[in-house]
Structure 1
């Protein structure tokens, strides 16, 4: 229990200092390194198995920081920088203004920005079928839908929350955690994902959409949040109308090239964004009558946006990753697992306990996968002791891990979306917390109604 208390105290301290206005990246990095050193002093291995030790406790903790810089800076970080650079480029050449101008005409009949918010949320949820990474999807939506949402009158925190939320409920039947959950449940993938999980997911998404409508409307009024609806008649649009397609090139590319739509051709999100930038530059070059100097000058805005993304978003992701590793290394997750194993509760009580522990671990670590993969190993054993169906325990845990991540101020998707929106992670979490709670309640009730308790 000592490790659990250490993790809890340091997590509370992190929240306190961030609320007090300390830079989040520095706070998380300091807390993460401290946890890694404490873990080493308690006899735990500081580094994961795939990272070679330096032979010293202190330098091992710094070695993990280097690993995260390489892993997140070169992987997810590169994706974020590319998308942020693309978004800056689209703004600079005027493509985003063209989108707002054109879309405002058919949407002008919808007077409430909160109806638009719900529509954007549903579209974002459907996008999760094509982009499995929560952070990757959040960044993609921030680069494409966010400017349009804010221009149409949706507040910045509400629009960022929409971009951060679509992966809170799992829809894709082929995502890695669904495949693992089906295996541990002892059910065929199509039965587990489509016949069991999907109905619960659809109900949760509907409830979360309704909750987002009323909760964001309440917060905007309570906090007197500035609404940025653009007066279209006064908007200066210098780019031609066909530029309106350019901001959506990454989304189109995901659907066209991220599967087998074109036989033998499959591009990942990085190449899709680079291709989108290249197409944008080519269109800009032709529009400017083959003036290469103007085209290259405009591209500088893309590079500047990438640099700003590294400073404002990627370093936060690195720091959050170090903090999460510190919590897991010091033994916080293992202690939560021990609590679940000792629970001598009935079927419903055990399901609620495992769900609560999964949510708590997801909030603390900012990861959806890590807590679920840790706890799901327990479910078949605990289910067997009580004669329960493993799916009855696993489905709420599966959804709870993703829901918990969506209200964690240190999760990659919250850090990335808030950084791109230039607001605090807590401002986004405040917008997601009530819809997430409503979604979690729906998942639990849906499991009780639709999933047999006993095998």
Structure 2
């Protein structure tokens, strides 16, 4: 329990200093390195198995910072930088204004921005079928839908929350955690994903959409949040109408190439964004009558956007990753697992306990997958002892891990979307917390009603 208390105290301290206005990246990085050093002093392994030790616990903690810079800077960080650069480029050449101008006319009959918010949320949830990464999807939506949402009158925190939320409920039957969950539940993938999980997921999404409508409306009114609805008649649009397709090139590319829609051709999200920037530059070059100098000058906005993304978003992701590893290395997560294993509760009580522990771990670490993969190993054993169906325990845990990540101020998707929106992670969490709680309650009730408790 000592390790759990250490993790809890440092997590509370992190929240306190971030709320007080300290730079989040510095706070998380300091807390993460401190936890790694404490883990070493307590005799725990500082580094995960895939990272080679330096032979000293202090330099091992710095070695993990280096690893995260390489791993997130070159992987997810690169994706974020590319998409932020693309978004800056689209704004600079006027493509985003063209989109707003064109879409505002058919949408003008919808007077409430909150109806538009719900519509955008549903579209974003459907996008999760094509993009499995919560952070990757959030960044993609921030680069494409966010400018249009804010221009149509949705407040920045509400629009960022929409971009951060679609992966809170799992829809894709082929995502990695669903595959693992089906295996541990002892059910065929199509039975588990489509017949068991999908009805619960759809119910939760509907409830969360309704909750998002009323909760965002309440917060905007309470906080007098600025609504940035653009007066279309006064909007200056210099770019031609055909530029309206350019901001959506990454989304189109995901559906066309990030799979095998076109047989034999599969392109990952990084190349899709590079391709989108290239197409944008070619169109801009032709529009400017083959003026290469102007085209290359416009592209500078893309590079500047990438640099801003590294400073404002990627370093936060690195720091959050170090903090999450610190919590796991010090043994806080193992202590939570021990609590679950010792629980001598009935079926529903055990399900609620495992769900609560999964949510707590997801909020603390900012990860959806890590807590689920850790806790799901317990479910078949605990279910066997009580004669329960493993699926009855696993389905709420599966959804809870993703829901918990959506209200964690240190999760990748919250850090990335808030950074791109230039608002605090806590402003986004404040917008997601009530819909997430409503979604979690729906998942629990849906499991009790739709999933047999006993094997």
- Which TM bucket (shorter chain)? over 0.9
CA distance in 1 between counterparts of 2:30 and 2:398 reads: 31
CA deviations over 1:395-450 (Å, ceiling 9, x no partner): 00000000000000000000000000000000000000000000000000000000
CA deviations over 1:152-183 (Å, ceiling 9, x no partner): 00000000000000000000000000000000
CA distance in 2 between counterparts of 1:70 and 1:258 reads: 24
State the shift of 1:67 in Å: 0.0
CA deviations over 1:285-307 (Å, ceiling 9, x no partner): 00000000000000000000000
| Secondary structure of residue in 2 paired with 1:229 | coil
State the shift of 1:259 in Å: 1.1
CA deviations over 1:361-383 (Å, ceiling 9, x no partner): 00000000000000000000000
CA distance in 2 between counterparts of 1:344 and 1:289 reads: 75
Matched, 1:367 2:348: no
CA distance in 1 between counterparts of 2:47 and 2:448 reads: 40
CA distance in 2 between counterparts of 1:207 and 1:225 reads: 24
CA distance in 1 between counterparts of 2:156 and 2:195 reads: 37
CA deviations over 1:274-294 (Å, ceiling 9, x no partner): 000000000000000000000
CA distance in 1 between counterparts of 2:146 and 2:173 reads: 27
State the shift of 1:261 in Å: 1.0
CA distance in 1 between counterparts of 2:34 and 2:328 reads: 13
| Secondary structure of residue in 1 paired with 2:179 | helix
CA distance in 2 between counterparts of 1:420 and 1:404 reads: 21
Runs ≥4 in structure 1, deviation > 2 angstroms? none
CA distance in 2 between counterparts of 1:261 and 1:402 reads: 28
The within-5 A match list for 1:375-394 is 375-394=375-394
CA deviations over 1:54-74 (Å, ceiling 9, x no partner): 011100000000000000000
CA distance in 1 between counterparts of 2:341 and 2:265 reads: 47
Matched, 1:187 2:187: yes
CA distance in 1 between counterparts of 2:355 and 2:66 reads: 34
State the shift of 1:201 in Å: 0.1
CA deviations over 1:230-249 (Å, ceiling 9, x no partner): 00000000000000000000
Matched, 1:276 2:279: no
CA distance in 1 between counterparts of 2:124 and 2:420 reads: 17
> What residue is the counterpart of 1:72 in the other structure?
72
State the shift of 1:264 in Å: 0.6
User: What CA RMSD, in Å, does the superposition of the two structures yield over aligned residues?
Assistant: 0.2
State the shift of 1:36 in Å: 0.1
The within-5 A match list for 1:82-121 is 82-121=82-121
> What residue is the counterpart of 1:416 in the other structure?
416
CA distance in 1 between counterparts of 2:362 and 2:92 reads: 38
State the shift of 1:45 in Å: 0.5
CA distance in 2 between counterparts of 1:87 and 1:231 reads: 22
CA deviations over 1:318-356 (Å, ceiling 9, x no partner): 000000000000001000000000100000000000000
> What residue is the counterpart of 2:221 in the other structure?
221
CA distance in 2 between counterparts of 1:154 and 1:177 reads: 33
State the shift of 1:308 in Å: 0.1
CA distance in 1 between counterparts of 2:176 and 2:117 reads: 29
CA distance in 2 between counterparts of 1:297 and 1:258 reads: 30
CA deviations over 1:138-161 (Å, ceiling 9, x no partner): 000000000000000000000000
| Secondary structure of residue in 2 paired with 1:360 | helix
CA distance in 2 between counterparts of 1:232 and 1:143 reads: 21
CA distance in 1 between counterparts of 2:51 and 2:21 reads: 34
Unaligned runs of 5+ in 2: none
The within-5 A match list for 1:435-446 is 435-446=435-446
CA distance in 1 between counterparts of 2:116 and 2:57 reads: 52
How many residues align? The count is 455
| Secondary structure of residue in 2 paired with 1:55 | coil
CA distance in 2 between counterparts of 1:392 and 1:262 reads: 39
CA distance in 2 between counterparts of 1:42 and 1:427 reads: 36
Q: TM-score, normalised by structure 1?
A: 1.00
CA distance in 2 between counterparts of 1:88 and 1:145 reads: 13
CA distance in 1 between counterparts of 2:8 and 2:429 reads: 19
